């Protein structure tokens, strides 16, 4: 079966006269209005060579074409995986609407501007070229995205945005048992014995900490890399454990969530969760 082409997302000039694009597609395809709207919202319709995803878009004498591979089976919810940069929030909060022409939001004099929201990175321009899912990028893929897995603002790594209620339920209901894997850069050389205070803290029933595995991944006199595998991770936990061992954190990256890995996804870019991937 032929793979769908990755058409660039381009804005078509908005027309104010003529008839609805959905009506034109109904005549072109000899289908119902609902089916015509699905073809359009699925990114299968072009107006003068530009993909238009709005059924209400007005057309007059423009050339309307329907992709020969058009299918009504593709209107499925998507899940996006982002490699969040350090300094961005995790996107659990929605983006604040900005009025056209409004000045950029900055902090008060003498105060830092608020951190950027990771959701702002979910744009066609930031889609990873190496995405193995080979899904066509559509405007509707950026609507109604839920984010339920927290990540520190100072950390980088995997964050998840989804339109699929099944994925949302999986990430929320299994959060206490789903394993998060982190690579943590700390200052100085670290021997395995230096991690004993962390082991003691994890055995302390008064602290009621989740299940954690920690090991030294690599070490040099300047810095060391630790691997944390945590079931039920939450912001602040790794910092708390490193403080117990007297370790100074230089950087933190979440590289895996359940069975889904960050892999080669570049910082600041996103990809689709492929059909074969499961959390």
Mean pLDDT (the chain, rounded): 88
DSSP string across 202-251: HH-TTT---EEEEEEEEE-SSEEEEEEEEET--TTHHHHHHHHTTPPEEE
Whether pLDDT at 91 is above 80: yes
H or E segment to which residue 200 belongs? helix 196-203
Q: How confident is the model at residue 188 (pLDDT cuts 50, 70, 90)?
A: very high
Give the SS3 label for residue 88: strand
CA-to-CA separations, 248 to 28, 106, 147, 238, 244, in angstroms, rounded: 65, 31, 29, 11, 10
Which residue in the block uniquely carries the two structure tokens 């900490």?
Answer: 209
Q: Is 155 exposed, middle or buried (0-12, 13-18, 19+ CB in 10 A)?
A: buried
Task: Express each pLDDT in 9-56 by its tens digit.
Answer: 555 555 567 899 999 889 888 889 998 888 888 888 889 988 888 888
CA distance 88 to 81: 15
pLDDT value for 51: 87
With beta carbons less than 8 A apart as the criterion, state whether 167 and 250 touch: no
CA distance 190 to 215: 10
CA distance 103 to 181: 40
For residue 99 the two structure tokens come to 């009025």
Q: Span 229-251, mean pLDDT?
A: 95
| Other CB atoms within 10 Å distance of the CB of residue 164 | 14
CA distance 127 to 264: 13
DSSP string across 4-29: PP-----PPPPPSSSEEHHHHHHHHH
Going from the N-terminus, what domains does the chain have, and what CATH number goes with each? Answer: 19-66 (3.10.290.10), 79-95+115-176+261-272 (3.30.70.580), 179-257 (3.30.70.3190)
Task: Express each pLDDT in 58-73 by its tens digit.
Answer: 998 889 998 888 888 7
pLDDT value for 94: 78
Which residue in the block uniquely carries the two structure tokens 């003068």?
Answer: 48
The whole model's pTM is what? Answer: 0.79
Whether pLDDT at 222 is above 90: yes
In 3D space, the residue among 260, 195, 183, 277 whose CA is nearest the CA of residue 229 turns out to be 183
Q: Span 75-84, mean pLDDT?
A: 93
Cα-atom radius of gyration of the chain, to the nearest Å?
Answer: 23
pLDDT value for 5: 45
């Amino acid at each position: 079966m032929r793979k769908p082409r990755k058409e660039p997302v381009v804005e078509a000039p908005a027309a104010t006269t003529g008839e609805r694009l959905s009506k034109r597609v109904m005549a072109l395809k000899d289908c119902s209005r609902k089916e015509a709207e699905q073809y359009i919202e699925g990114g299968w319709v072009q107006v003068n060579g530009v993909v238009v995803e709005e059924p209400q878009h007005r057309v007059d004498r423009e050339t309307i074409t329907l992709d020969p591979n058009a299918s009504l089976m593709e209107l499925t919810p998507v899940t996006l995986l982002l490699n969040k940069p350090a300094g961005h929030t995790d996107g659990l909060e929605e983006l604040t609407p900005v009025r056209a022409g409004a000045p950029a939001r900055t902090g008060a004099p003498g105060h830092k501007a608020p951190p950027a929201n990771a959701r702002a990175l979910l744009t066609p321009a930031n889609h990873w070229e190496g995405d193995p899912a080979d899904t066509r990028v559509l405007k509707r893929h950026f609507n109604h995205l839920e984010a339920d897995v927290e990540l520190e603002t100072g950390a980088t790594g995997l964050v998840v945005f989804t339109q699929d209620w099944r994925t949302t339920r999986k990430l929320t209901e299994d959060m206490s048992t789903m394993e998060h894997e982190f690579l943590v850069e700390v200052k100085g050389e670290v021997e395995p014995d230096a991690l004993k205070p962390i082991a003691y803290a994890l055995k302390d029933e008064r602290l009621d900490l989740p299940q954690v595995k920690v090991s030294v991944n690599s070490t040099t006199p300047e810095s060391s890399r630790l691997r944390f595998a945590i079931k039920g991770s939450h912001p602040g936990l790794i910092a708390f454990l490193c403080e117990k061992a007297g370790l100074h954190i230089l950087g933190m990256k979440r590289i895996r969530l359940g069975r889904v890995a960050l892999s080669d996804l570049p910082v600041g870019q996103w990809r689709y969760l492929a059909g074969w991937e499961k959390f």
